């Protein structure tokens, strides 16, 4: 059995190695193919006409400067110029639209990616995927599907034109073209490898800096500025080393190649042409046309090689994008076929078991409990008992390994995900407050117009009126990023007010009073216990003097059920709960 699994794993790895990530990304992103095809057609027409310029120009050396001859050359140059301008404009739009499509696809996939992707990847280090990688993908797509075919047509047209001039002159191409092709493969492989290293290093540095900038207050609190300064310099040093390889070494090789190929092709062409001219095998005008064609052919090959190495460079960068695009996604939009009619009723966990993909042991094992509708239920247990995991399962961030969760008897996995999550409001300690005005913070995720009267009523419910009145612009005062200008109590009240405005049927409070001073914690507790009458409320907390007032208490221990019932009943029947109470000197608070 293990051998079979090993063989299957090896086959999977082999398939992944054979896959071209660039084309995988192209397949899964809705690029602007209409503009790309238009740019390709215009570019190819321009290449065909451009290939006739050397021949038309060389014919002037016959001494015929008649109006028709001069007008023919001028007409060819004018058409080439106009087509070049049109081609450039269409390419710019094709690249810009493709970059936009790439960014939309990356952002949409990031928003809807399953939790397994975020467990395996630091989101902060993926910021450059939306900016740098998406831009490179748009440019790479146009280069591959427009530039390379266009220059290939120009190369072929020049060869055909040379055939009409003198097939003998083409002999030199059998030396030049193989050298260019050899460069394609060698340089392409190297640049693909370096591109992958550069992308990973840039992503790691972005993630590192984003994490440090987000936690600057903590750095200052611990007086570790000097240490973090050194770490930041060291991190940028890693990127510098990769950039040296990427920009200097790779750039130097490209520059040497371009210079040598230009010099070599010119010298060889002149020597070979002079030999044929001296032997009387070609005319002077043919030799002049040949000289211009060789220059055009060589420049074209250099451009193709540069574009090709750029595409190979992006192939290395495309690995991260491919990893994101092939990750699992949550059902959303038209893809979500679940029922939008979410029933009312009790929330019930039936034989829930769950293991994280990277964990060796299950976090939950055969857990069953009920959260009564319209009541306040507390979920308690020692640290590491699986409380937060249960919340994630209720929110459908993960699916149970075994068992199911129902609402009103209906399995929540059969419901439309957006409809189910809109039925829930989740409040956590130190919850996020995005940058913007206080009004924006209060109304975030509220899908209806909210009047000032309703806002002030809710603000009064959570005892925020004095704070709002103290603000220079009231509800339209701009808050610091992530609520940095707010105290812990103010931020928590704003988050609870936001939950009240959502008017959900189910409210989940995850450690809503931890890290708050006793007075603020008691005030928040009163709001939670009294402000959500008739709603289903689930509280996860270690503050037993708070949760003891709940209508129903569920106790878990080491991923298993330890008991359920009222505070009084659990004190008599559940040793785990009783130990938790005694550890917090519950008797001193309640006189029990």
- Quick: pLDDT tens for 11-40: 444 444 556 777 788 788 888 888 889 988
pLDDT, tens digit, 9 for 90 and up, residues 281-304? 777 777 777 777 777 777 777 777
Residue 168 Cα to chain centre, angstroms: 55
Q: Which of 474, 501, 528 is the last residue of a domain?
A: 501
Beta carbons within 10 angstroms of residue 89's beta carbon = 12
Share of the chain above pLDDT 90, in %: 16
d(CA 382, CA 387): 9
First to last CA, the chain: 58
Instruction: Give, for 332, the enclosing helix (H) or strand (E).
Output: none
State percent of the chain over pLDDT 70: 76
Q: Tell me: do 588 and 456 sit in the same domain.
A: no
- Structure tokens, 316: 């290395």
Q: Does residue 88 fall inside a structural domain?
A: yes
d(CA 38, CA 100): 18
What integer is the mean pLDDT of 456-478? 87
Is the pLDDT at 580 greater than 60, yes or no?
Answer: yes
**Which band of pLDDT confidence, cut at 50, 70 and 90, is reported for residue 382?**
confident
Domain count, the chain: 3
Q: Are residues 53 and 24 in the same domain?
A: yes
Residue 197 confidence (pLDDT)? 64
525 and 441 in contact (C-beta within 8 Å)? no
DSSP 34-102: HHHHHHHHHHHHHHHHHTTHHHHHHGGGGT---HHHHHHHHHHHHHHHHHHHHHHHHHHHHHHHHHHHH
Q: What is the pLDDT of residues 32-43, one digit of tens each?
A: 888 889 988 998
Measured at the alpha carbon of residue 504, what is the angle toward residues 498 and 507, in degrees to the nearest 5? 80
Find out whether 433 and 479 touch, Cβ atoms under 8 Å.
yes
pLDDT band at 221 (very low <50, low <70, confident <90, very high): low
Report the predicted TM-score, pTM, of the whole model to 2 decimal places: 0.70
C-alpha–C-alpha distance, residues 143 and 570, integer Å: 69
Task: Say whether both 290 and 228 belong to one domain.
Answer: yes
- Taking 60 as the threshold, does the pLDDT of residue 412 lie above it? yes
Distance CA 450, CA 459 (A): 13
CATH number at residue 482: 3.40.50.300
Contacts of 478 (CB under 8 A, 6+ apart): 435, 436, 437
Structure confidence at residue 4 (pLDDT):
41
pLDDT of 9 strictly over 80:
no
**11 inside domain:** no
For 266-275, 404-413, 463-472, 494-503, which range has the lowest pLDDT when averaged over its residues? 266-275
Task: Output the pLDDT for position 591.
Answer: 45
Query: Is 44 inside a domain boundary?
Result: yes
Does residue 211 form part of some domain? yes
Residue 123 is encoded by which pair of tokens? 């989101």
Give me the domain span that covers residue 469: 432-501
Any idea what the CATH number is for the domain that residue 283 is in?
A: 1.20.1560.10
Q: Return mean pLDDT, the chain.
A: 78
Residue 96 domain-assigned (yes or no): yes
Contact 338, 356 (CB under 8 A): no
On whether both 275 and 352 belong to a single domain, the answer is no
pLDDT at 541 over 70: yes
132 pLDDT exceeds 60? yes
Same domain, 468 and 382: no
506 has a pLDDT exceeding 90: yes
In this prediction, residue 32 carries a pLDDT of 81
Give bridge partners of residue 364 from the DSSP assignment: 354
Predicted pLDDT at 2: 40
Rounded-to-5 percentages of helix, strand, coil across the chain: 65, 10, 20
Give the per-residue pLDDT at 575: 92
Task: Say how far residue 417 (Cα) sits from the centre of its chain.
Answer: 21
The residue-averaged pLDDT of 183-206 equals 66
pLDDT of residue 242: 65
pLDDT band at 371; cut points 50, 70, 90: very high
Cα 195 to Cα 392: distance, rounded to the nearest angstrom: 37
Q: Which two tokens stand for residue 41?
A: 């057609």
Residues 363, 465, single domain; the answer is no
- Contact between 46 and 150 under an 8 Å Cβ cutoff? The reply is yes
Is 145 within 8 Å of 159 (Cβ atoms)? no
Backbone angles phi, psi at 580, to 5 degrees: -65, -40
Strand order in the sheet with 364-371: 364-371, 347-354, 402-407, 410-411
- Rounded to whole angstroms, how far apart are CA atoms 584 and 568? 16
The pLDDT, as a whole number, for residue 1 is: 39
If asked whether residues 402 and 454 sit together in one domain, one would say no
Domain co-membership, 172 together with 234 = yes
Give the end of a domain, one of 501, 533, 560. Answer: 501
216 falls within a domain? yes
Does a structural domain hold residue 3? no
Shared-domain flag, residues 224 and 318: yes
- Indicate if the pLDDT at residue 253 is higher than 90: no
Q: Residue 101 has what pLDDT? A: 86
With CA atoms as reference, report the closest residue to 540 among 518, 507, 568, 517. 507
Per-residue pLDDT, 373: 94
Mean pLDDT of 397-401: 91
**pLDDT given at position 369:** 94
CA neighbor of 461 nearest in space, from 515, 512, 529, 517: 529
Rounded Cα distance between 132 and 313, Å, is: 13
Contact 102, 134 (CB under 8 A): yes
Contact 455, 442 (CB under 8 A): yes
- Cα distances from 175 to residues 170, 179, 262, in angstroms, run 10, 7, 13
Task: Using the 3D structure, point to which of 290, 325, 360 is the last residue of a domain.
Answer: 325
Confidence of residue 588 (pLDDT cuts 50, 70, 90): very low
Question: 259 and 319 in one domain?
Answer: yes
At a CB cut-off of 8 Å and minimum separation 6, what does 62 contact?
A: 285
Asked if residue 320 and residue 220 are part of one domain, the reply reads: yes
Q: What's the DSSP call for residue 246?
A: I
Q: Are residues 125 and 53 in the same domain?
A: yes
Whose tokens are 């008691």? That residue is 522
Question: Is the residue at 13 inside a domain?
Answer: no
């Amino acid at each position: 059995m293990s051998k079979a699994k090993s063989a299957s794993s090896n086959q999977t790895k082999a398939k992944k190695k054979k896959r071209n990530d660039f084309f995988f990304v192209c397949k899964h992103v809705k690029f602007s193919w209409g503009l790309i095809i238009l740019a390709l057609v215009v570019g190819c027409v321009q290449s065909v006409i451009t290939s006739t310029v050397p021949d038309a120009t060389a014919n002037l050396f016959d001494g015929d400067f008649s109006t028709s001859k001069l007008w023919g050359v001028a007409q060819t140059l004018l058409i080439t110029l106009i087509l070049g301008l049109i081609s450039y404009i269409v390419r710019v739009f094709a690249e810009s639209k493709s970059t936009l499509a790439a960014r939309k696809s990356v952002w949409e996939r990031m928003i809807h990616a399953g939790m397994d992707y975020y467990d395996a990847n630091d989101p902060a280090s993926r910021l450059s995927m939306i900016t740098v990688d998406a831009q490179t993908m748009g440019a790479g797509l146009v280069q591959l599907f427009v530039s390379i075919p266009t220059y290939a047509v120009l190369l072929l047209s020049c060869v055909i034109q040379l055939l009409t001039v003198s097939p003998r002159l083409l002999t030199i191409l059998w030396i030049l073209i193989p050298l260019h092709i050899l460069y394609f493969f060698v340089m392409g492989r190297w640049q693909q490898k370096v591109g992958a290293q550069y992308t990973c290093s840039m992503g790691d540095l972005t993630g590192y800096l984003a994490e440090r900038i987000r936690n600057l207050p903590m750095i200052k609190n611990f007086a570790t500025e000097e240490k973090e300064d050194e770490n930041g310099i060291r991190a940028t040093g890693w990127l510098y080393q990769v950039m040296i390889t990427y920009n200097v070494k790779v750039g130097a090789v490209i520059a040497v190649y371009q210079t040598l190929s230009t010099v070599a092709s010119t010298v060889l062409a002149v020597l070979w042409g002079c030999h044929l001219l001296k032997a009387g095998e070609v005319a002077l005008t043919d030799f002049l046309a040949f000289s211009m064609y060789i220059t055009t052919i060589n420049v074209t090959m250099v451009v193709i090689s540069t574009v090709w190495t750029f595409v190979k460079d992006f192939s290395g960068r495309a690995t991260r994008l491919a990893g994101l695009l092939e990750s699992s996604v949550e059902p959303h939009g038209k893809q979500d076929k679940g029922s939008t009619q979410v029933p009312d009723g009790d929330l019930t966990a039936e034989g829930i078991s769950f293991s994280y993909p990277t964990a060796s042991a299950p976090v939950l094992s055969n857990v069953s409990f009920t959260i009564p509708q319209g009541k306040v239920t507390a979920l308690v247990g020692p640290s590491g008992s699986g409380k937060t995991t249960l919340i994630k399962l209720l929110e459908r961030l993960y699916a149970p390994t075994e068992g199911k969760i129902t609402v009103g008897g209906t399995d929540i996995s059969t419901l439309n995900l957006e409809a189910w999550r809109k039925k829930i409001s989740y409040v956590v300690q130190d919850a996020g407050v995005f940058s913007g005005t206080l009004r924006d913070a209060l109304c975030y995720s509220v899908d209806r117009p909210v009047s000032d009267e309703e806002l002030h009523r809710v603000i009064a419910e959570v005892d925020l009126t004095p704070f709002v009145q103290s603000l220079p612009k009231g509800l339209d005062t701009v808050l610091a990023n992530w609520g940095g200008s707010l105290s812990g109590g103010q931020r928590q009240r704003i988050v609870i007010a936001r939950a009240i405005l959502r008017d959900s049927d189910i409210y989940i409070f995850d450690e809503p009073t931890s890290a708050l001073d006793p007075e603020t914690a008691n005030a928040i507790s009163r709001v939670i216990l009294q402000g959500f009458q008739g709603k289903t409320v689930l509280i996860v907390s270690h503050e037993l003097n708070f949760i003891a007032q709940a209508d129903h208490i569920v106790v878990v221990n080491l991923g298993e059920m330890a008991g359920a019932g009222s505070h009084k009943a659990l004190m008599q029947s559940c040793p785990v709960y009783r130990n938790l109470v005694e550890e917090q000197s519950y008797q001193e608070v309640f006189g029990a």
